[in-house]
Structure 1
């Protein structure tokens, strides 16, 4: 069972998180940002990840600290749950349609954090979520998980659909990458380390 539990408290946010990466998509999520909760639920449901998350953040300022800090803690939890990364397939790619929207999410659990995000939004907000915060969340997540991540919008007009496609695709790609294969001895790297 690959599991992690993290508590993080700063002057801006207080977060408790527990995560099971070999789950079934069960969630209890309270970030204080309704649309972000919806996206995290989609990420977990399509990634088959069980997640309990509660964040009390300084939303009277804006959503930035909450979203970024959740990305940090979620990344730390994934890294912790994966341990030495032995036997994992390492790579995952998902082309995920959501009505007219189609995105490509491709990742490598390489230990080398990097984010390439090519997604132009046409609205400042989707629900109560600032679209520019997607980049802050993904950057915090990949830098703390040690993941190389590419997210590219192929088609799409509706910003809600685009965002849904990305979070579903991230879950699906991560599920592929963390899958364990009995054919892999140690880690899938010619260097012998990830």
Structure 2
């Protein structure tokens, strides 16, 4: 099975080209134009054992909102294409991840019913050149376009960098679990017969 997808998305605000491999080795070549966001995406890729090649040319002279949200849209579209018919997948993924004093929890369902519950707690407004409000915007765009139900919560912590890092690492692990093949599942893991 070759679970790979390539997406190009061009608007008046962003130009994005990416390739995603769900059965990768944790290799990322990522350039969003926002250093901290690149770091977070790379963490997600490494911990999710995904391969992601991503380039974004966005209107960063305005701010990072369009770039971050549109990357979430494009990545979600690629995920939805790459996961294919969903036969044999574990479907659900849950992971707690500690990052020093912070602890994040991510659980998801590759359900075909997109939804986001997000509780990041209090955060500093910026980490480097990254507006921390955009964490939720990325997660929402990704979940909606990937067709997954996604719940994200920072249980506690004081350092904003650590909180967001814990989220992205936990997301990678949860995705890795959910997309993995279960040899006991011969069809789609749903009593409905479809996801």
Q: Give TM-score, length-normalised by structure 1.
A: 0.99
Matched residues in 1 for 2:139 and 2:47: separation?
Answer: 17
**Over 6 Å off, 4+ runs:** none
RMSD after superposition: 0.6
Partner of 2:62: 61
Partner of 2:184: 183
Partner of 1:115: 116
Count of residue pairs the alignment pairs up: 194
Q: Deviations over 1:104-146 (max 9, x none)?
A: 1000000000000011233100111101001110000000000
What pairs with 1:86-125 in structure 2 (closer than 5 Å)?
A: 86-125=87-126
How far 1:155 sits from its partner (Å)?
1.5
Matched residues in 1 for 2:147 and 2:33: separation?
Answer: 27
Matched residues in 1 for 2:123 and 2:70: separation?
Answer: 25
What pairs with 1:36-47 in structure 2 (closer than 5 Å)?
A: 36-47=37-48
Matched residues in 2 for 1:178 and 1:32: separation?
Answer: 29
The answer as to whether partners of 1:19 and 1:77 remain within 8 angstroms in 2 is yes
Q: Deviations over 1:4-39 (max 9, x none)?
A: 001111100000000111001111100000000000
How far 1:182 sits from its partner (Å)?
1.7
The answer as to whether partners of 1:115 and 1:138 remain within 8 angstroms in 2 is yes
Matched residues in 2 for 1:92 and 1:31: separation?
Answer: 27
The answer as to whether partners of 1:121 and 1:131 remain within 8 angstroms in 2 is no
How far 1:58 sits from its partner (Å)?
0.4
Partner of 1:7: 8
Partner of 1:192: 193
**Gaps in structure 1 of 5+ consecutive residues:** none
Q: Deviations over 1:28-51 (max 9, x none)?
A: 100000000000000000000000
